[in-house]
Amino acid sequence: MRDLQHLLFFENMLQEANNELVQRACGEGRLALAYNCCYIPEVLLDVEGCFGVRLRAPRCTNPDLATYYMTNRSCPYSKSILERAFEGGYNFIDALMGQECCTTMNRMEQYFAYCKLIPKEKFFVSFLDMPLKKTEWHAGYYRRQIEKKVIQPLEKTYGVDFSEGKLRAAIEQHNELCRIITELGNFRKLDNPPITGYEFHVIQLVTLTCPKDMILPYLRETLEEVRNREPDPRPAYRARVMVVGSEIDDPDFTKLLEGCGAYVVADRYCFGSIPGRQEIVLEDGKDILQSVADHYMYGNQCPRAMGSENIVARKQFLYGIAKEYRADGIIAENMKFCEYWGYERAQVAQWMSEGFNVPKPIPVCQIEKDYTNAATGQLRTRFQAFVESLEIKRIQSGT
């Protein structure tokens, strides 16, 4: 297939957190509001005069200083973010919206304030206390947290306007972006898709790291281009896989996987589009903030949600997505020392491969990885063997 017109531009936007579009937005006097977790209500960070940016640390391979503060057995994603903060890589941000669902990430975000890493007089860090369960009461609690920990500090510190009209405008912009990403993602369901998993990964990442109003024109053009794109006569992949796991914000991981003969049809990980790119539904007569809270709490598939009903529901959700996108197998990943996803990865592998609480088994390949693709050779060997096993299964079944 011919290269996408804006692919190189998108790739360049991922080279640094303070990319070209971020610099342009900051130059216009807009507030850069950083966050690290899909529990943070992203849409509220994109009201007029602000833009949200999901923090990444591209090419950070040696978080030595952060390790001094956080020990060797800390999540490498959190350490890499802290290391880049010590290096001055996030000096453009005006606030950091944190959360208390992950101890390591919470500690990393605290150091932004304790060590005064951002040289801005009004910079602050705020922490949401996320509920452990999904009930009506917990949704109400989360809504109050949003108001107390996001809206009120931004109103008081920077005078941000969270009036109903501003919120509705931000939600509509968010929903348009979600519709574009969803349509692009749906192409992956085809036998011979006009978009690669790598390209989709890059596009999804720029929606998290660039001001949405500035990236939307490029996304609209890309969607139209993919609609009319002619795929190669024969699909290049040997097996279709779904990737499940924690923070995967390096598109080279997807490129490595697809270089082994796989095609990544679905991205159920912390930086992925499933379930992060579903539209926010506003119901008549329902409080807007409650609608936002319900969307982020009930739709989130983070393994932090406790209770047997949530544990079972997550596996059934994965099974449904795998079937919808016609995945031959699942890659279950966790970042080193990630307690939540470490348990979840082991459960996913056993439940899916044995067909426990799902209609039938699905082959699973388990991996544990660093923040960067340091062990590329080992991963390539694992992926090649898994793809070969899926291909053999398909040949034997006659499909």
The b-or-e profile of 258-294 (16+ CB within 10 A means b, else e) is bebbbbbbbbbbbbbbbebbeebebeeeeeebebbbb
Q: Which amino acid does the sequence have at 91?
A: N
Give the whole-angstrom CA distance, residue 229 versus residue 223: 10
Bridge-partner residues for 263, per DSSP?
A: 240
Residue 300 Cα distances to 124, 170, 313, 314, angstroms:
26, 20, 11, 10
Per DSSP, 128 falls in state E
- Per the CB < 8 A criterion, the answer to whether 128 and 151 are in contact is no
Q: Per the structure block, which two tokens stand in for 10?
A: 């998108």
- The helices-and-strands tally (H runs, E runs) of the chain is 15, 8
Q: Which amino acid does the sequence have at 186?
A: N
CA 184 to chain CA centroid, Å, is: 16
Q: How many CB atoms lie within 10 A of CB 125?
A: 18
Place of tokens 């919470």: 106
Give the whole-angstrom CA distance, residue 182 versus residue 160: 30
pLDDT tens, residue by residue, 54-103 = 999 988 878 989 999 998 888 899 999 999 999 999 999 999 999 887 88
Place of tokens 């991981």: 253
- Extract the residue ranges of the chain whose pLDDT is less than 50: none
Give the whole-angstrom CA distance, residue 29 versus residue 85: 22
- Per the CB < 8 A criterion, the answer to whether 260 and 380 are in contact is yes
Q: Which amino acid does the sequence have at 226?
A: V
pLDDT (0 to 100) of residue 399: 63
Give the whole-angstrom CA distance, residue 368 versus residue 195: 27
Q: How many CB atoms lie within 10 A of CB 145?
A: 20
- Per the CB < 8 A criterion, the answer to whether 394 and 239 are in contact is yes
Q: How many residues does the chain have?
A: 399
Give the DSSP H or E segment for 113. helix 103-114
3-class state of residue 20 by DSSP: helix
